[in-house]
């Protein structure tokens, strides 16, 4: 005889505790219904796509970006559940103000997505490293993320819950995919998530990151155009897509946005300290092209 905590489904027994039942019911519709999210670097690219997905799943989203005109326009495009606050993530006061703006406008902050980042163009050799450029990139990609985590935690810890997300990169997992400065900055983001999760888990706060494969966003295409001046933009897009090792698949902003929705929602309620790699298997293997046996003597 089954206890009251079990229900029979065909030939399977499924444990339906009250909390699980509420979780199952809540996820049959919009995954972020009623949540309040703050996304940095949200005026365009992955940030804008993620804001769109969050709103479509029922969230109210505050867009934070250094690009004021574009940020305001994006907020208008996304409708009444989007608002904009100008924010330079290298300035702690800006990040703190953005967090306070979200709380003031919506009474709380449920999701903080530290997405703002910058690429870099420096000589490829470590011996020619431009340390001024290194400092600038680290200020945005690492210090900016840490600042976002700090101030999100400031308002989430008293509530005993919340979700923090960060954008990392496959370049932070393996060498040789990008210049040292960018790779080091993204490896540091993964390190932030691993380190901070040990503390935040004690307060019921989850923190994770997403590591995308290269995507032909304006961010990436602008950098490529500097290396390949005069090359047609469509050709640059194809070059990025050619990195894919998954037959028939390419990485798009919506793939990263969908990953962010998953990590922000109760679908990932027991996932923390995790780096979700979205690369079609690119970093999972390295193939060796051996000659056919009949070509060997």
The catalytic residues are 169, 182, 186
How far, in Å, CA of 112 to CA of 104, rounded? 15
Query: How would you class 95 by CB atoms within 10 Å of its CB: exposed for 0-12, middle for 13-18, buried for 19 or more?
Result: buried
The label of the residue with tokens 């295409």 reads: 221
β-pair partners for 8: 13
**Residue 62 contacts residue 38 (beta carbons within 8 Å):** yes
The set of residues, in sequence order, having a beta carbon less than 8 Å from that of 9 and lying 6+ positions away, is none
How far, in Å, CA of 187 to CA of 179, rounded? 12
How far, in Å, CA of 86 to CA of 41, rounded? 10
Q: 228-244 burial, b for 16+ CB within 10 Å, e for fewer? A: eeeeeeeebbeebeebb
CA 177 to chain centre: 19
β-pair partners for 208: 165
**How many of the other CB atoms lie within 10 Å of CB of 208?**
23
């Amino acid at each position: 005889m089954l206890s009251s905590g079990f229900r029979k489904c065909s030939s399977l027994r499924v444990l339906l505790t009250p909390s699980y039942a509420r979780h199952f019911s809540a996820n049959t519709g919009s995954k972020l219904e009623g949540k309040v999210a703050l996304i940095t670097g949200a005026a365009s690219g992955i940030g804008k796509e993620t804001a769109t997905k969050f709103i479509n799943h029922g969230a109210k989203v505050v867009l934070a970006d250094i690009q004021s005109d574009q940020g305001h326009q994006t907020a208008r495009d996304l409708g009444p559940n989007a608002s904009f606050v100008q924010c330079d993530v290298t300035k702690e006061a800006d990040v703190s103000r953005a967090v306070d703006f979200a709380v003031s406008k919506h009474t709380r902050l449920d999701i903080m997505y530290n997405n703002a980042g910058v690429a870099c163009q420096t000589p490829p050799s470590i011996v020619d490293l431009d340390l001024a450029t290194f400092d600038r990139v680290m200020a945005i990609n690492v210090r900016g993320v840490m600042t976002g985590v700090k101030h999100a935690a400031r308002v989430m810890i008293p509530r005993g819950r919340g979700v923090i997300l960060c954008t990392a990169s496959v370049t932070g997992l393996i060498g040789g995919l990008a210049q040292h400065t960018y790779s080091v900055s993204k490896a540091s983001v993964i390190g932030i998530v691993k380190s901070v999760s040990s503390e935040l888990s004690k307060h019921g706060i989850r923190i994770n990151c997403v590591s995308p494969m290269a995507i032909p966003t304006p961010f990436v295409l602008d950098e490529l155009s500097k290396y390949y001046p005069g090359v047609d933009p469509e050709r640059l897009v194809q070059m990025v897509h050619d990195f894919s090792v998954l037959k028939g698949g390419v990485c798009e902003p919506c793939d990263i946005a969908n990953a962010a929705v998953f990590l922000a929602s109760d679908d990932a309620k027991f996932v923390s300290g995790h780096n979700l790699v979205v690369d079609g298997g690119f970093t999972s293997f390295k193939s060796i092209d051996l000659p056919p046996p009949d070509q060997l003597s």
